[in-house]
């Protein structure tokens, strides 16, 4: 294993102590590197007393759901899949700027029910300190349901997480950040299952063409593709193949965003403070 920096080693030890002291815990597990690290360390410290739970939401890519199952098997996790119903909530479907609040409320309310049934006191997530400065209404839902964020409590940044994940040889240590499919839809545009399936199908096409980091932003009949600057030349050389494949998913027009890949680009210009329960 690569040697950890002293600072990350200290954070790792504190994370182990924090999770180990909880006794029994539910970990909200999406397959991203953040929640994966929490799930892995919780399993290290608590074994089957750490219940690792993934929501098979319509906004979670099937490839990410498959990844959680694969990792759970490889790591020997006490793993469970639950179904959340955020698409049945008008507040979610209307896609306001605080959409994530409604999604996380659906998730955490269900996890709270599981915790009560299983007599588990703590629910934890993979939020890290870098998330605190971003537009994340889901943090309000976490607070409402008293969900703990051990990576925040022990001072982990995204860079720290990737360093430790690589040290522990987690298979997804280098996995690009992957937000839910609904994040590809501009705020104010209603979301339904067919739109999410269309976006997922288009992104699957890009993956099949060999791209590894991308977003397909949904603008009605226009698919706006964001990829890193280093992939621009290759994408332009493959423009016909990309266009044909994306159009086969139901889009009339396919655009390559010259500004490149930007995680959370649809959050640009949003106020930091939003009203959580608009009338």
Range of the domain at 70: 6-167
> Is 273 contained in some domain?
no
Predicted confidence at residue 277, as pLDDT, reads 42
Gap between the Cα atoms of 110 and 229, Å rounded: 40
Predicted confidence at residue 268, as pLDDT, reads 60
Q: What is the CATH number of the domain that holds 100?
A: 3.40.50.620
**Phi then psi for 117, rounded to 5 degrees?**
-65, -35
Q: Are 194 and 90 in the same domain?
A: no
The rounded mean pLDDT for the chain is 93
Residue pointed to by tokens 């659906």: 106
> Is 42 contained in some domain?
yes
Average of per-residue pLDDT across 108-117: 98
DSSP letter at 5? P
Gap between the Cα atoms of 121 and 108, Å rounded: 13
Decide if pLDDT at 264 tops 80: no
Gap between the Cα atoms of 56 and 267, Å rounded: 25
Average of per-residue pLDDT across 98-113: 96
pLDDT band with cut points at 50, 70 and 90 for residue 137: confident
Which range is least confidently modeled, 4-18, 49-63, 128-142? Answer: 128-142
> Is 146 contained in some domain?
yes
Q: What is the CATH number of the domain that holds 226?
A: 3.30.70.2210
Decide if pLDDT at 106 tops 80: yes
> Is 253 contained in some domain?
yes
Closest C-alpha among 16, 45, 26 to residue 154: 16
Gap between the Cα atoms of 85 and 92, Å rounded: 10
Average of per-residue pLDDT across 69-84: 98
pLDDT band with cut points at 50, 70 and 90 for residue 265: low
Predicted confidence at residue 136, as pLDDT, reads 81
Under 8 Å between Cβ of 186 and 94: no
Gap between the Cα atoms of 201 and 240, Å rounded: 17
> Is 1 contained in some domain?
no
Predicted confidence at residue 1, as pLDDT, reads 57
Q: Are 120 and 22 in the same domain?
A: yes
Gap between the Cα atoms of 34 and 151, Å rounded: 8
pLDDT band with cut points at 50, 70 and 90 for residue 266: low
3 state DSSP class of 189: coil
> Is 94 contained in some domain?
yes
């Amino acid at each position: 294993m690569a040697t950890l920096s002293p600072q990350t080693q200290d954070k790792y030890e504190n994370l182990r102590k924090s999770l180990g002291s909880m006794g029994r815990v539910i970990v909200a597990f999406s397959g991203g590197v953040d929640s994966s690290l929490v799930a892995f360390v919780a399993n290290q410290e608590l074994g089957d007393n750490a219940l690792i739970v993934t929501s098979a939401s319509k906004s979670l890519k099937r490839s990410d759901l498959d990844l959680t199952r694969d990792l759970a098997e490889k790591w020997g996790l006490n793993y469970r899949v639950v179904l959340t119903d955020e698409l049945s909530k008008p507040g979610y479907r209307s896609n306001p700027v605080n959409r994530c609040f409604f999604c996380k409320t659906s998730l955490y309310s269900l996890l709270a029910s599981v915790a009560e049934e299983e007599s588990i006191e703590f629910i934890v997530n993979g939020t890290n300190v870098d998330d605190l400065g971003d537009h994340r209404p889901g943090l309000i839902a976490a607070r409402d349901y008293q969900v703990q964020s051990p990576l925040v409590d022990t001072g982990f940044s995204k860079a720290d997480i990737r360093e430790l994940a690589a040290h522990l040889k987690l298979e997804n240590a280098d996995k690009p950040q992957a937000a839910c499919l609904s994040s590809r839809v501009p705020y104010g545009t209603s979301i339904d299952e067919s739109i999410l399936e269309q976006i997922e199908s288009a992104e699957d096409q890009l993956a099949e063409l060999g791209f590894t980091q991308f977003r397909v932003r949904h603008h009605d009949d226009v698919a706006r593709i964001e990829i890193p600057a280093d992939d621009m030349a290759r994408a332009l050389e493959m423009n016909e193949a990309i266009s044909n494949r994306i159009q086969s998913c139901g889009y009339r027009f396919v655009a390559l965003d010259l500004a490149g890949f930007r995680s959370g680009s649809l959050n640009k210009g949003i106020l930091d403070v939003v009203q959580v329960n608009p009338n």
